[in-house]
Structure 1
Amino acid sequence: MMFTNRLTPTNLPSFLHLTFQKLSNKKLLSSSIFIQKLPEEQPHQANTLSFATLHSHSNLEQTKQNHALLIKTFETHFNYSQFSPLAQYNFLISSYIKNNQPGTAVNVYAYMRKNGTEVDNFTLPTILRACSQVLMSQLGAEIHGFAVKNGLDMDVFVSNALIQMYGECGSVESSRLVFDKMADRDIFSWSTMIRSCHKGRLFDEALELIRKMQFLEMRPSEVAMINMVNLFADIANIEMGKAIHACVMRNGKNEKLGVALATSLIDMYAKCGNLASAKRLFDGLDQRSVVSWTAMIAGYIRCRKFKDGTRLFVQMIEENVFPSEITMLSLIIECGFVGGLEMGKWLHAYMFRNGCSFSSALSTALIDMYGKCGEIGSAKALFDSEKRKDVVIYSAMISAYAQAHYIDEAFELFVQMRESQVGPNEMTVVGLLSLCAEAGALDLGKWIHAYIEKRGVGVDVVMKTAVMDMYAKCGDIHGAHRLFSEATS
């Protein structure tokens, strides 16, 4: 196959064709469009496989019971289990993670290291997954160092887990370093690296990886194809998405699309504005997951078809498919994105009527939605009702004030935030700087700039740009030029 400098809908089908004979008799993954296959789901050493099989039947309560038994076993120095201590610890870590307890899994790992318990190439990918879930990049980097020191970094499963951990924690550069140093890469290495670049919005690098896969005649897995479709959705490249869709249909031997890939395609068509194709795919699904419904409803909202979105939401409830928190979060974010105030209010009322618990993430999304739609009163009422206010909620309310040009209220809230011992993040500071820029408030902008330097708030390209923009828009061209010179020197 000839290597091409540009990946196009014309040469993409030949790249994908090789994989479909392998996939046609295999049911596609039933994961959501937001989840990809994780390294620990791959085969591992024989001494841990039997324990992993046992784990698949363990809920959280059973996991806690096994944990207590393990502690009691070690305290009495008598081994009641046919499994080694390492296998038992691996079981606990994996089980806690699958029961949404990554913090507890991290504590088990810390106990292992403290007591000098052996760690193997099953332990590390599993605990790195926990680091990905709770964004503990510092611990992930420490585990990376441990792996290098003990020669475990050459294991493909460990390397794949490191790529994913760094990608989820926002360090695409570190992901790429691990990827580039791998002597042997499998399809999960490529798929995870593509996802990391996509998540970091390095779209050109992601496309380059797909080109290299094409050149090397790598057979893309279902997850790799889903990652590609999601990439094409976010860069609004409907032609590339159609190319994958066409290949699947031509080579699928008349089999129905799997839910995961179909949902990704629905999302791609909707984001590219082709609601007819998205709805046709949605209607053709034999089984619709809550993620499929979410993608279709979000597509209607994105295209400002609010009545169709409301109608489909009601239909979803009537078919006994109930929205998850991620569903509500996704739909509210879309309402804010397109200024769909009435739809946002309707969703807010639905949650209130049905006694849905308002997590910090949901409250923040609602405040942000109301702020973007100019409903400052509703945003403030929600903000005031929150008993525990973190930096994200404060930042959302400050951003709402900034968008409405309420400069006094924004700075009063910032002072209140500091008095509450809540430190600002990038979003908080950028919001205030943008407000100063629009209002021409140079003195306040300088005060924020001094605060950044004094308090050591993390400064990246976005914040540097916001500071320069503030100086320029407030008429201090010399200040803007000085900062530009410092940034480029």
Structure 2
Amino acid sequence: MQIHRFSSSSTLITKKPLYLWNLTIRSSVNGGFFAQSLETYSFMRHSGIHGNNFTFPLLLKACANLASIGDGTMLHAHLIHVGFESDVFVQTSLVDMYSKFSNLRASRQVFDETSTRSVISWNSMIAAYSRSFRVNEALKLFREMLGGGFEPNSSTFVSLLSGFADPTHGSLFQGRLLHGCLTKFQLHDDTPVENSLVQMYVNFGQIDSACSVFYAISEKTVISWTIMLGGYLKAGAVAKVFETFSQMRQNNVVLDKFVFVDIISSCIQLGNLFLGSSLHSLLLKTGLKYEDPIGCLLISMYSKCGDLLSARAVFDLLSEKSIYSWTSMISGYANAGYPREALSLFSMATQNNVRPNGAMLATAISACADLGSLSMRREIEAFIQQDGLASDSQVSTSLIHLYCKFGSIEKAEKVFNSMIHRDLAAWSSMMNGYAVHGMGEKTMNLFHEMQRSGIKPDGSVYASILLACSHSGLVEDGLEHFKNMQLDYGIVPTMVHYTCLVDILSRAGHLELALNTIQEMPTQFQSQAWAPFLSACRTYCDVELGEVANRCLLSSNPRNPVNHVLMANLYTSMGKWKEAAKVRSLIDDKGLVKEPGCSQL
């Protein structure tokens, strides 16, 4: 701690008795002015007065909140010098401070040196272990506490249950044992404990158990409701989120920003514009501001619902635009198919001295790939080099997609090979690039390399694999992968997978098998599979099957002129000019217009 020089009024300050100094320090700490409290103690020491067992816990709390290890250790040395190292309140504060510095060894050393322990002492050390998700050590200490004759209180169980915030460091069995234990000590009617119990079950995905505890809480707070909302949201039970939210309003629970975070996030999943705008109105009615993350979520919600005007209106109303709000709006434009607007906003952000992070750059890169702008690509590449974001996994994955879109496979490979940690998205992006460019062998080799590295493929990876098989004529491989993705990984085929499978069979001339595949696939996917099948019928001059495909196409989408054109081309390739003319006349009779082809430079 530094010793600060006094102002002109220091003579008066130094005459204050200890209790007045303590009141000043307590006021500073309670008000969140932690640095000021340390400065006050420096003045106090300079006047020849040192703290007591009231002063030091406050100062140690200030050091912990400032994450000031240097001041904390100096204060520890000082309180030993003045003889307060054995005070139980001071020792407890030291344990807590060192745990917040992530120095559990020092925390445990202080705890072990404590001669007279209280429940508060035990709770402090248990909380230190739980804060670091060392559940086993926390439970071991809890057993020692019980063995020493100490009776746990609500703080004990709140600390223990908080260790399950990351369920990978504990087990549901341990959590249930604690549930039984707190019932034994008759703490199951304590709201903070019950809230922690609900949160523990939510973390393990045990929604029914969480719900059972939640509805048994006699005095539910807004925290209780928010935990349950978050649990349903995490489980994907969006309908339950809104049902619980309605119950909150019926119980006149005061809504805070955390409630709106969950409820707006649920609305994003639904994509319901009416519901979203109603929530927005309720948000305004409660008087909550558009501070993060509320503003970002509203932008994302309107974007997801297809109302980009409202999303932009919210964005423009933000008094302070964070990098997250910029990214949300840019992403909204990009995902809705407006890459030019996304890149324009990205340029505006950089002009406003917003330094792009990985997420913003990744979104801008994707928009650049969709737009095909070479000049913007060079500008973004300059940003990446300037800000040293080339190693960011999101940026690298987006660059792979961008280079593949521009046909620069070698550049995409260079980025991919430079990545130290490749996630599923990176592997998928590189495989898709190979597949689109007809590099079937490279796609397969990369797929096998990914499997050897322990990465589990998803539906997007298999879509790339099937696309590669289609472009490379690998019929047997395609059929095998279509089967394996279901048997080995439980991936349910989507329209993309079915369409690729039909394309694989059709391109290889297995038209009968392709027809059977279309007829056996889910009805909602069939309309997309007929077009590639009809094109194959033209290639293999099979008018009979082509007419079957055409009838199905016209029944599912009679207003699409492309379907008529495909059939007319099939007749033309077979020299059936009369039939071709008849089909083309249907296009004119129905007033159907085929959009002319175009390219974007």
**TM tier, smaller:** 0.5 to 0.7
Q: What displacement does 1:448 show?
A: 3.5
Q: Please say if 1:84 is aligned against 2:124.
A: no
Q: Please say if 1:416 is aligned against 2:452.
A: no
Q: Report the equivalent of 1:130.
A: 166
**Inter-partner Cα distance in structure 2 for 1:89 and 1:55:** 17
**Inter-partner Cα distance in structure 2 for 1:130 and 1:60:** 26
Aligned partner of 1:295 among 328, 331, 341? 328
Aligned partner of 1:72 among 91, 103, 109? 109
**Inter-partner Cα distance in structure 2 for 1:141 and 1:442:** 47
The amino acid across from 1:296 in the alignment is: M
Q: Please say if 1:397 is aligned against 2:423.
A: no
**Inter-partner Cα distance in structure 2 for 1:426 and 1:289:** 33
**Gapped regions of structure 1 (runs ≥ 5):** 1-48, 95-104, 485-489
Q: Could you give the per-residue CA deviations for residues 100-127 of structure 1, whole angstroms, max 9, x where no partner exists? A: xxxxx23x33333456556933234432
2:339 touches 2:367 (CA, 8 Å); kept in 1? Answer: no
Q: What displacement does 1:325 show?
A: 3.5
1:101-120 equivalences in 2 (<5 Å): 105-106=132-133, 108-113=134-139, 116=143, 120=156
2:440 touches 2:468 (CA, 8 Å); kept in 1? Answer: yes
Q: Report the equivalent of 1:322.
A: 355
Aligned partner of 2:263 among 217, 222, 228? 228
1:134-149 equivalences in 2 (<5 Å): 136=168, 139=170, 141-149=172-180
Q: Report the equivalent of 1:37.
A: none
1:297 touches 1:331 (CA, 8 Å); kept in 2? Answer: yes
Q: What displacement does 1:144 show?
A: 3.3
Q: What displacement does 1:178 show?
A: 2.3
CA 192–397 in structure 1, closer or farther in 2 if over 3 Å, else same: farther
1:321-360 equivalences in 2 (<5 Å): 321-329=354-362, 331-332=364-365, 335=367, 339-342=370-373, 346-356=379-389, 358-360=391-393
CA 68–290 in structure 1, closer or farther in 2 if over 3 Å, else same: same
Q: Report the equivalent of 2:492.
A: 462
Q: Could you give the per-residue CA deviations for residues 322-379 of structure 1, whole angstroms, max 9, x where no partner exists? A: 33334445555x638x834546664444122222252334423443565577764443
Q: What displacement does 1:305 show?
A: 4.7
CA 406–73 in structure 1, closer or farther in 2 if over 3 Å, else same: same
The amino acid across from 1:416 in the alignment is: E
Q: Report the equivalent of 2:203.
A: 165
Q: Report the equivalent of 2:273.
A: 238
Aligned partner of 1:175 among 207, 212, 227? 207
CA 452–211 in structure 1, closer or farther in 2 if over 3 Å, else same: same
What TM-score, normalized by structure 1, do the two folds share? 0.65
Q: What displacement does 1:290 show?
A: 2.2
Q: Report the equivalent of 1:30.
A: none
Aligned partner of 1:150 among 181, 189, 194? 181
**Paired residue secondary structure (1:70):** helix
**Inter-partner Cα distance in structure 2 for 1:449 and 1:329:** 31
1:198 touches 1:231 (CA, 8 Å); kept in 2? Answer: yes
Q: What displacement does 1:87 show?
A: 0.9
Rg bigger for which structure? 2
Q: Report the equivalent of 2:304.
A: 271
Q: Report the equivalent of 2:542.
A: none
1:229 touches 1:265 (CA, 8 Å); kept in 2? Answer: yes
Q: What displacement does 1:198 show?
A: 4.4
**Inter-partner Cα distance in structure 2 for 1:418 and 1:445:** 17
Q: What displacement does 1:233 show?
A: 3.4
CA 286–109 in structure 1, closer or farther in 2 if over 3 Å, else same: same
**Inter-partner Cα distance in structure 2 for 1:58 and 1:191:** 29
**Inter-partner Cα distance in structure 2 for 1:466 and 1:306:** 23
2:162 touches 2:200 (CA, 8 Å); kept in 1? Answer: no
**Gapped regions of structure 2 (runs ≥ 5):** 1-56, 71-97, 146-151, 506-512, 523-601
**Paired residue secondary structure (1:144):** helix
**Inter-partner Cα distance in structure 2 for 1:373 and 1:202:** 41
Aligned partner of 1:435 among 437, 449, 467? 467
Q: Could you give the per-residue CA deviations for residues 30-72 of structure 1, whole angstroms, max 9, x where no partner exists? A: xxxxxxxxxxxxxxxxxxx999887544368964474232243
Q: Report the equivalent of 1:425.
A: 457
**Inter-partner Cα distance in structure 2 for 1:347 and 1:437:** 33
Q: Please say if 1:58 is aligned against 2:67.
A: yes
**Paired residue secondary structure (2:166):** helix
1:275 touches 1:299 (CA, 8 Å); kept in 2? Answer: yes
1:159 touches 1:179 (CA, 8 Å); kept in 2? Answer: no
CA 195–64 in structure 1, closer or farther in 2 if over 3 Å, else same: closer
Pairwise CA RMSD of aligned residues?
A: 4.6
1:468 touches 1:483 (CA, 8 Å); kept in 2? Answer: yes
**Inter-partner Cα distance in structure 1 for 2:117 and 2:480:** 65
**Inter-partner Cα distance in structure 2 for 1:317 and 1:464:** 39
**Inter-partner Cα distance in structure 1 for 2:109 and 2:240:** 51
**Inter-partner Cα distance in structure 1 for 2:250 and 2:125:** 43
1:335 touches 1:344 (CA, 8 Å); kept in 2? Answer: no
Identity of aligned residues (%): 18
CA 72–144 in structure 1, closer or farther in 2 if over 3 Å, else same: closer
**Inter-partner Cα distance in structure 2 for 1:465 and 1:301:** 23
The amino acid across from 2:125 in the alignment is: Q
**Paired residue secondary structure (1:73):** helix
The amino acid across from 1:225 in the alignment is: F
1:355-374 equivalences in 2 (<5 Å): 355-356=388-389, 358-368=391-401
2:312 touches 2:329 (CA, 8 Å); kept in 1? Answer: yes
CA 296–423 in structure 1, closer or farther in 2 if over 3 Å, else same: closer
Q: Could you give the per-residue CA deviations for residues 394-427 of structure 1, whole angstroms, max 9, x where no partner exists? A: 33322443455532221011233345x4343335
CA 410–186 in structure 1, closer or farther in 2 if over 3 Å, else same: farther
The amino acid across from 2:294 in the alignment is: L
Q: What displacement does 1:393 show?
A: 3.0
1:430 touches 1:463 (CA, 8 Å); kept in 2? Answer: no
RCO comparison, higher one (Cα < 8 Å, 6+) = 1
Q: What displacement does 1:383 show?
A: 0.8
Q: Report the equivalent of 1:102.
A: none
Q: Report the equivalent of 1:283.
A: 316
Q: Report the equivalent of 1:13.
A: none
CA 290–436 in structure 1, closer or farther in 2 if over 3 Å, else same: closer
2:416 touches 2:426 (CA, 8 Å); kept in 1? Answer: yes
